[in-house]
Structure 1
Amino acid sequence: MPLNILFAARPERWTEYEAPLHKALSDAGIDGYTLSMDLPADQVDYIIYAPNSPLQDFTPYTRAKAVLNLWAGVEGIVRNETLTQPLTRMVDDGLERGMVEWVTGHVLRHHLGTDAHVLGQDGTWRHEVPPLAKDRPVTILGLGALGGACAEALVYLGFPVTGWSRSRKNIAGIACLSGDAGLPQALCTAQILVLLLPDTPQTENVIDADALARMPAGACLINPGRGPLIDDDALLAALDDGHIGHATLDVFRTEPLPPEHPYWGHPKVTVTPHIASETRPDTAAQVIAENIRRGEAGEDLLHLVDRDLGY
């Protein structure tokens, strides 16, 4: 029986992914397959999926062995009651390296006070020397694949890094905290805070007024994770009263961020348009192909989503 693989994403993504997927499938030793955006539902073996696809009802896909998500985030699909097939999320080298570069760049920007020099060339000589990295504690909330990689990169640069996660992690060189008791401790030293948690009911508004108040005065917040992690009103209030020195935000509750949103014009907020990390077709195709190979060989799939946890 031929292997049928459905590509369920927007048409422009098919243009980007068609050639890399064929190459990756060939490299993985998979042949005799059909890869298409148009296949009879009851004949599909694997669904390569983007949550913004028109496909939202998985009931007809009775033969499908797995749904292979193209996005790192699965909040747009994991609660879909029609989805009973195994679900995987995207963890690939291109997405990871992109996140490490973006996070490292903005941590260094805030650490060095780069904005003051780039934006403040007013003829005044301000001899303000930044501390060394060893004297600038950084906290990362979320120690999954992306958070762990960012933490390791910052440790390599000399920053003392504290990481927090729902369950206990052990990463060399990082002070790993976990659970409800560990979160206040992680926040109280965070001169720079990086948010890389998933979007779940448990993480919504994790950065609220109480959490912000626990951070050191003048701390900077960087969010390339998920918009709902932050109570926006609480953050704006903390920026206005000076307790939080700056926020660099890449993700938002509503995207694109509406033009009238106060973040756009706030002098202590940097908005970037959800560019911290992007799935790269070449590397993502390799992850997809490996999971299809594993599925056909009866092996465990990579990056399976825990439906109860939501990621």
Structure 2
Amino acid sequence: MNDSNPNPAGAVALCCSHVEGATWESRLRAALPKASLTVWPAVAAEAECAIVWSPTQAFMDAHPRLRVIFNMGAGVDALMRLRLPTHARVVRIEDGGMAVQMADYVCHAVLRHFREFDAYADDAAAHNWRPRKPRLRADFPVGVMGLGALGLRVTETLVKFDFPVLGWSQSIKHVEGVTCLAGADAFDEFLSRTRILVCMLPLTPLTRDIVCSATLSRLLPGGYFINVARGAHLVESDLLALIQSGHLAGATLDVTREEPLPPGHPFWTCPQIALTPHIAGQTVIDEAITQIASKINAGFGDPRLSGFVDPERGY
């Protein structure tokens, strides 16, 4: 693939285990009419570009000439655990229609907890008409861990609901209306000022198990946890223990360590935990394909291209 060619055509390898794989294939063919698209397990050994969803090591080994690998989603942790071709760079989807969904989901979870809508639902089921005293937003500061493209959209939306909002990331960010903290030295301060904690971090060796007893116990009393990132960020037994002790009021979990969640898992029967099946931010196919196709057609020498993953950081 020639970096200087504004409309490069060539072999593109597609590996897609997604339930809508056929849709991805047909729309990619339409968006990349000059490319020769080969769908795994068929092999295009000469391909320098791949578009993947949950690829296998066998796929990578069969395509040694890959230079650019487009991941169909925002999270690249599973992909980065593979042994990639020597010169391959990974490109993640930037938003792809997910940011607004994440903002919807997190704001809904925050408001449902803050306004006690779960308790009202229980009252209605028991035929109880029992208004509660309104709570103050100032008493429910929301802390968002991870200020990438998705985390920024979530914090910006939360501010519009008049909650105090804090953001924490590895490097300092600036978001209007948000108290931004950065680095390990500021982590304890961030937690101690947070009552509702939202995890939007990428999963890396440094962030695995970051939400544990030591982390959650630093939240303000009656804390609440929302996870829309990866299940491996959370030590699940620690969450359950802190809910049982009363230090945490509960949690909303869109992700778990094992997915689907096994039938006997204690999360199913914990009344303080709300579960959804990893749907907080789903890739919108048309938006993602438009993004991928535009980058392929631009050629990879274009300095304006973005979304490349830093292999050292893992995101």
TM-score, structure 1 normalization: 0.91
Deviations 1:182-234 (A, max 9, x none): 11111112221111111111111211112111111111111111111111111
What is aligned with 1:275? 279
Mapped to 2, the partners of 1:211 and 1:13 lie a distance apart of 38
- RMSD of aligned C-alpha atoms? 2.0
SS in 2 for 1:245: strand
Shift of 1:297: 5.6
What is aligned with 2:74? 72
What is aligned with 1:98? 101
What is aligned with 1:49? 52
What is aligned with 1:28? none
Mapped to 2, the partners of 1:11 and 1:76 lie a distance apart of 14
What is aligned with 2:231? 227
Mapped to 1, the partners of 2:106 and 2:240 lie a distance apart of 22
Mapped to 1, the partners of 2:242 and 2:130 lie a distance apart of 26
Deviations 1:3-56 (A, max 9, x none): 12221112743312134324444xxxxx522223155433213100112x3454
Query: What is the correspondence of 1:106-125 to structure 2 with a 5 Å cutoff?
Result: 106-121=109-124, 122-125=126-129
Q: Output the amino acid matched with 1:13.
A: E
Q: Contact 1:57 / 1:83 at 8 angstroms: preserved in 2?
A: no
Q: Which moved more, 1:154-163 or 1:8-17?
A: 8-17
Mapped to 2, the partners of 1:291 and 1:134 lie a distance apart of 44
TM-score, structure 2 normalization: 0.90
Q: Output the amino acid matched with 1:279.
A: T
Distance change (3 Å), C-alpha of 1:250 and 1:96: same
SS in 1 for 2:181: strand
What is aligned with 2:85? 83
Mapped to 1, the partners of 2:205 and 2:261 lie a distance apart of 22
Mapped to 1, the partners of 2:155 and 2:62 lie a distance apart of 42
Mapped to 1, the partners of 2:51 and 2:121 lie a distance apart of 43
What is aligned with 1:163? 167
Residue 20 (structure 2) pairs with residue 20 (structure 1): no
36, 61, 76: which is aligned to 1:34? 36
**Structure 2 unaligned regions, length at least 5:** 2-8
226, 249, 254: which is aligned to 1:250? 254
Distance change (3 Å), C-alpha of 1:123 and 1:152: same
SS in 2 for 1:198: coil
Distance change (3 Å), C-alpha of 1:54 and 1:209: closer
SS in 1 for 2:225: strand
Q: Contact 2:198 / 2:227 at 8 angstroms: preserved in 1?
A: yes
Mapped to 1, the partners of 2:106 and 2:85 lie a distance apart of 33
Mapped to 1, the partners of 2:181 and 2:292 lie a distance apart of 32
SS in 2 for 1:77: helix
Q: Output the amino acid matched with 2:168.
A: W
Question: Identity percentage over the alignment?
Answer: 35
Distance change (3 Å), C-alpha of 1:81 and 1:156: same
Q: Output the amino acid matched with 1:248.
A: T
SS in 2 for 1:67: strand
Shift of 1:120: 2.0
Q: Output the amino acid matched with 1:164.
A: W
Shift of 1:134: 4.6
What is aligned with 2:4? none
177, 180, 193: which is aligned to 1:173? 177
What is aligned with 1:265? 269
What is aligned with 1:214? 218
What is aligned with 1:126? 130
Distance change (3 Å), C-alpha of 1:164 and 1:205: same
What is aligned with 2:298? 294
**Structure 1 unaligned regions, length at least 5:** 26-30
Q: Output the amino acid matched with 2:28.
A: L
Q: Output the amino acid matched with 1:277.
A: G
Shift of 1:290: 1.8
